[in-house]
């Protein structure tokens, strides 16, 4: 009996020690993330938390722009972050400014631009560049984001189609608010944004992706923020997002995963 009681006490002690160690080593990983990866990330973060015991704290905002929740603006005002997940070239710009740990950047996904209309509205033909041009000219109002896809639509796509002047007055950039919500409310007939950002919005129908001659693929990347308090846990999170385990959820959200070489880690 004494031996059994002694063994039971040892087991309890070991379990307590393991629990204490797990609690003591659990990290709070602070993530700033832009819209393109948000739907997939929100589904994957709880899986990462369950596997590691770490807690993920998320701040959402565009990769660029001057709105108060834009990631560069958040960093400028001193908000803490361990991991930044955003448009690749915007992350590279932050790295040049010393706000991302050199060499920590990982390309995670490719994202295509899509077109949306209000749910139940007629879907225009967007199968060719000429068809998209006709749809834009016929629309009374057009909306696009203030992030990568919208910057392209405004500064490049309209010019490619030769309709810059015609779009003035009826096409507008939407700061911060998802473009799908503007379309769902009836404020715009046509909406342009990353497919992954349109999919979670209720009240719209996604017509499809822009045709190849007009398409602009955006790469979303992750990196460790300079001054991160939990860089190791942050790196583990990035590794998880780049792993085969995360692939199905990423594809379901409308994104194309980028294979990451094991040597990166």
Domain with CATH 3.40.190.10 in the chain: 26-110+218-258, 113-209
Q: List the beta strands (DSSP E) in 210-249.
A: 218-224
pLDDT of 9 over the 50 cut: no
Q: Is 76 helix (H, G, I), strand (E, B) or coil?
A: helix
pLDDT of 4 over the 80 cut: no
Sign of the alpha-carbon dihedral angle for 249, 239, 225, 48: positive
* 83 strand-pairing partners: 31, 224
Find out whether 108 and 249 touch, Cβ atoms under 8 Å: no
- Residue-averaged pLDDT of the chain: 90
pLDDT of residue 16: 42
Q: Which of these ranges, 12-21, 39-48, 117-126, 195-204, has the smallest mean pLDDT?
A: 12-21
Q: How confident is the model at residue 264 (pLDDT cuts 50, 70, 90)?
A: low
Segment 10-39 shows an average pLDDT of: 67
Fold assignment, 26-110+218-258:
D-Maltodextrin-Binding Protein; domain 2 (3.40.190)
Q: List the beta strands (DSSP E) in 101-255.
A: 106-111, 113-118, 142-145, 171-174, 190-194, 204-209, 218-224
Segment 56-82 shows an average pLDDT of: 95
CATH top-level class of 113-209: alpha beta
Quick one: what percent of the chain has pLDDT higher than 70? Answer: 89
């Amino acid at each position: 009996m004494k031996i059994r009681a002694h063994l039971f006490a040892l087991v309890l002690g070991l379990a307590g020690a393991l629990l204490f160690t797990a609690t003591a080593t659990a990290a709070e990983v602070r993530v700033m993330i832009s819209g393109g990866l948000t739907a997939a990330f929100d589904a994957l973060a709880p899986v990462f938390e369950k596997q590691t015991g770490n807690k993920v704290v998320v701040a959402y905002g565009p990769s660029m722009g001057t709105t108060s929740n834009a990631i560069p603006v958040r960093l400028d005002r001193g908000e803490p972050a361990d991991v930044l997940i955003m448009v690749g070239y915007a992350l590279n710009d932050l790295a040049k400014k010393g706000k991302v740990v050199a060499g920590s950047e990982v390309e995670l996904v490719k994202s295509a631009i899509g077109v949306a209309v209000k749910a139940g509205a007629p879907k225009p033909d967007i199968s060719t560049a000429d068809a998209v041009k006709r749809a834009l000219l016929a629309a009374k109002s057009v909306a696009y984001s203030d992030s990568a896809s919208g910057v392209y639509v405004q500064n490049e796509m309209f010019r490619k189609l030769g309709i810059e002047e015609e779009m003035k007055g009826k096409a507008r950039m939407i700061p911060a608010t998802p473009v799908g919500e503007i379309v769902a409310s009836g404020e715009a007939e046509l909406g342009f944004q990353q497919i992954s950002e349109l999919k979670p919005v209720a009240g719209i129908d996604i017509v499809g992706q822009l045709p190849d001659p007009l398409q602009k693929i955006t790469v979303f990347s992750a990196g460790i923020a300079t001054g991160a308090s939990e860089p190791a846990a942050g790196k583990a999170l990035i590794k998880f997002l780049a792993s085969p385990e995360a692939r199905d959820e990423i594809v379901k959200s409308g994104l194309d995963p980028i294979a990451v070489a094991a040597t990166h880690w």
